[in-house]
Amino acid sequence: MGQILAWILEYGYLAMFGLLALGVAGMPIPDEVLMIAFGGLVSQGHYNFIAALAVTFFGSMTGMMLSYTLGRLLGKPLLHRYGKWVRLTPSRIASSENWFGRYGTWGILFGYFVPGLRHVSSYLAGTTRLGVFRYISYASAGALLWCGTFLGIGHAVGMHWEQVAKLMEKVTHRIGLVVILLIVAGGITAWFWNKRKKMSHDRMESSYSLKAAGEVWYFYRIGLPWEVMEWKY
């Protein structure tokens, strides 16, 4: 990790772009720790936050597109044969296939927060011939959320980023799970809120219709001309 930080301090944005692209593609690079460190350096004035977010976003997307392209061109045999060289064991590949089969394109978006899954989800998207534009839309949304989260953590802790980065190396899987749960909870809450608003709107329309029907019946009973009732409603 010390050597990686030395590269970042010496080569700046270029080093961050290259390291993150390689890490997302499967090389043994601690991506989340790297972004927390970069966020900490941003908070100390070494780099600009917007530029850092752009660099990490395009770096991660480069790695994702590389894996997607390899999957589309070469298929699963290459993954099973050489996956061990990029930390993709048979069990990890199997669990990733199960995740991707269950959640589909949403697995690409949320898979960023699960180490190992993000390394193979893009490859599987390629092997299943998922459309390029659809893949890019989900992958880019996930990359922006992922990069923003860990850069933000590094920026928030400021000068304490080294301690947090060391802690992150031990709890990355748990942090990813927590983030996914929060996102899912937010989505469910938004769905229920929209459903509740729609039900409330439907009840108001139903109440208005009943009221209007009652008034029409009343006016009919008292002999109000139909032309007047038609004008009223």
Q: Which residue has the higher pLDDT, 46 or 129?
A: 46
Would you tell me the crossing angle of helices 49-74 and 132-157 to the nearest 10 degrees?
A: 140
Confidence category of residue 57, pLDDT binned at 50, 70, 90: very high
pLDDT at residue 180 in the model: 54
Residue 49 and residue 155 in contact, taking contact as beta carbons nearer than 8 Å:
yes
Burial state string for 21-33 with b = 16 or more CB within 10 A and e = fewer than 16: bbbbbbeebbbbb
What is the tens place of the pLDDT at every residue in 81-127? 666 665 566 666 676 667 666 767 777 887 788 766 777 778 888 88
Of 19 and 127, the structure prediction assigns the larger pLDDT to 19
Question: Residue 201: what pLDDT?
Answer: 59
Give, for 25, the enclosing helix (H) or strand (E): helix 13-25
Quickly state the pLDDT bin for 178 (edges 50, 70, 90).
low
Contact 165, 79 (CB under 8 A): no
For 193, how many CA atoms within 13 A lie in the half-sphere containing its CB? Answer: 6
What pTM value is reported for the model?
Answer: 0.66
**Which residues, other chains included, contact 160 with Cβ-Cβ below 8 Å and sequence gap of 6+?**
40
DSSP string, 95-117: HHHHHHHHHTHHHHHHHTTSTTH
Residue pLDDT, tens place only, 69-78: 888 887 766 6
What are the residues whose beta carbons fall under 8 Å from the beta carbon of 38, sequence distance 6 or more? 8, 16, 47, 52, 56, 151, 154
The answer to whether the Cα torsion of 169, 120, 14, 150 is positive or negative is negative
**232/61 Cα distance (integer angstroms):** 60
In contact, 121 and 71? CB cutoff 8 Å: no
Q: Which of 105, 110, 113, 102 is nearest to 129 (CA)?
A: 105
How far, in Å, CA of 175 to CA of 13, rounded?
25
The structural domains of the chain, with segments of one domain joined by +, span: 2-172, 190-232
